[in-house]
Structure 1
Amino acid sequence: MTVQITAGRFHAADGVEDWRSLYHVVSAYFRTGTLALGIALVNEIGRLVGEAEQQYLNVDLRYAGVTVSLSRRDIALARRISAAAKALHIPADPTAVQLINITLDALVGADVLPFWRALLGYHQIGDDYLADPARRGPSFGLQPMEEARPERNRMHLDVAVPHDQAEARITAALAAGGRLVSEAHAPMWWVLADAEGNEACVATWVGRE
């Protein structure tokens, strides 16, 4: 049986300072600056993983850096990946870690989810969630509402950021013309809106578990 651990327990472990919890995974961004150095890090990650089965492992190689996401239970692997990056003189940048989720308020989720599943080409998880099978695009989820709200937008972005970056992200959004709609659920999430009232949530793991 797979044993999951809480975000708090993960962050209390030694040697995981490069990593940040985002919902049910932990991620680290390693700023390589060149594709060749990124490939070297990815090759090292492949060597570390070998044939061992991982509950969750996602590696995103880009020219400027490498994003690695793991299950929270893989503390030992997180330590080894950080050590490999350090050996290659590749710094971690926790400020670049985030996950984006699109959320749609729906009166009858079963009526609208098939449309979005077909349109996006996503896989369905449960009754209210869609995920990109290639893990390239943002996830898509439904949020139930009891009655139509024509005066308010029904789709918003959920931006999951590291717990120690939420304040800076919110401050930057407010300085860029946004406004704070609600902080009733902080520090789990804050609701912000742009100058025209389009909403987004800034979310962290803090307070969830």
Structure 2
Amino acid sequence: MQAISELPDAEAGHPDIDVRYDGVTVRLITLTDDFYGLSERDVELARGISALARTLGIPADPSAVQTVQVTVDALAGPDVVRFWRALLGYTDRANSPEDLIDPHRRGAPFYFQRMDSPRPQRNRVHVDVWVPYDQAEARIAAAVAVGGRLVSDAHAPSHWVLADPEGNEACVGTAGWTGPEPTRR
């Protein structure tokens, strides 16, 4: 981390450095009022970090490079965005009301794409949001307060199923539940 911080433009690039038992991941992404993505500055800084890794004998795995974005098709975009903002604890990306981002830069961004007509089939993808046990009810209440609905609490307090105003589902799971196995409500 020290060596990366000494590279030119490292401070301006704000690299996110994730240290784990099996390796180190450096994430570069530019987030401004007008741009979200990989900038030319990020590419140059990545080249510098790769060169630094080679000099230190640290192998790189370019096949592991990725950015994940979750895209939700929506008819009533603002209503759907409010639900996901409340559920995820995300913030709007400036000048882009159809984008939500993790203010801590850890989770995937969400993009809400305008749909012209509803789909006849059920959604085939849903999002699982894991939060500490003592935060789950507040997250659920915030999502319901902005137009979401509770689909099922059959497995509460270990997890709940919610839906946004258009029926896109999300599960809220808890970490840290130490009580007895939940019973069906």
- Using structure 2 for the length normalisation, give the TM-score: 0.54
How is 1:100-119 mapped onto 2 (pairs within 5 angstroms)?
Answer: 100-119=68-87
The reply to whether residue 133 of structure 1 matches residue 103 of structure 2 is: yes
Q: 1:85 to 1:152 in 2, by over 3 A?
A: same
Letter in 2 for 1:84: L
Question: Is there any run of 5+ residues in structure 2 with no aligned partner, and where?
Answer: 29-37, 128-185
Could you list the structure 1 runs, at least 4 aligned residues long, displaced by more than 4 angstroms after superposition. Answer: 154-157
**Correspondent of 1:142 among 92, 100, 112:** 112
1:83 to 12, 27, 51: 51
* 1:73 partnered with 2:40: yes
> Per the alignment, in what secondary structure is the counterpart of residue 3 of structure 2?
helix
Aligned partner of 1:122 in structure 2 is 90
Deviations 1:93-132 (A, max 9, x none): 0111112211111111011111110110001111111111
Structure 1: runs of 5+ lacking an equivalent: 1-41, 158-209
**Is 2:20 the counterpart of 1:62?**
yes
1:1-209 aligned at under 5 Å gives the runs 42-48=1-7, 53-70=11-28, 71-74=38-41, 75-125=43-93, 126-153=96-123, 155=125
SS of the residue 2:73 aligns to: strand
Q: CA deviation at 1:83?
A: 2.0
Question: What does the per-residue CA deviation read over 1:10-62, in whole Å, with 9 as the maximum and x for residues that have no partner?
Answer: xxxxxxxxxxxxxxxxxxxxxxxxxxxxxxxx221122258x64145322222
Inter-partner Cα distance in structure 1 for 2:44 and 2:120: 50
Report the CA distance between 1:150 and its aligned residue.
2.7
Distance in 2, matches of 1:104 and 1:154, equals 11
Task: Give the conservation status (yes or no) of the 8 Å contact 2:68–2:108.
Answer: yes
Q: How large is the Cα RMSD of the aligned pairs?
A: 2.4
- Alignment check: 8 A CA contact 2:13 2:45 kept: no
- Between the two proteins, the alignment pairs up a number of residues equal to 115
